[in-house]
Structure 1
């Protein structure tokens, strides 16, 4: 394998991985059937308010990467 072929394969592989993660998240609705096989990441911004939006990125049982966004209460929101 030549160096240029190796670079082309690496670029194609990285490009498809990045485009997979660039998809927009589906807003979660109560009762949604989530097929979560492996959690990839949870992106939740730290806030001082009462709630924030978090995004769960996961791989389903078919191997497809999915994203779902949901409302997450702040850690200190329910503290007495």
Structure 2
């Protein structure tokens, strides 16, 4: 494989992955089946106010597609007595 072909393949792979990260997260609802093969990232605000904050889970499913789901999680201040 020559260098220009390797660069083309790498750029197409990166472009496809970047497009998947740009997709909006679907909101989680109780009972939703999640097909998680690999967790890629968990994004949650560090200094959220109130009792809950919205976190986003980015994962790869068993088909290899990158998915996102958003969910409510308790803030650390809500766990203080």
TM-score (norm 2): 0.85
In 2, distance between residues paired with 1:9 and 1:59? Answer: 21
Structure 2 gap ranges (5+): none
Structure 1 gap ranges (5+): none
Q: Report the Cα offset of residue 43 of structure 1.
A: 0.4
Listed as ranges, the matches of 1:1-80 within 5 Å are: 1-46=1-46, 47-80=48-81
Paired residues, number: 80
In 1, distance between residues paired with 2:35 and 2:6? Answer: 35
Q: Report the Cα offset of residue 35 of structure 1.
A: 1.2
TM-score (norm 1): 0.86
Higher helix share: 2
In 2, distance between residues paired with 1:68 and 1:29? Answer: 10
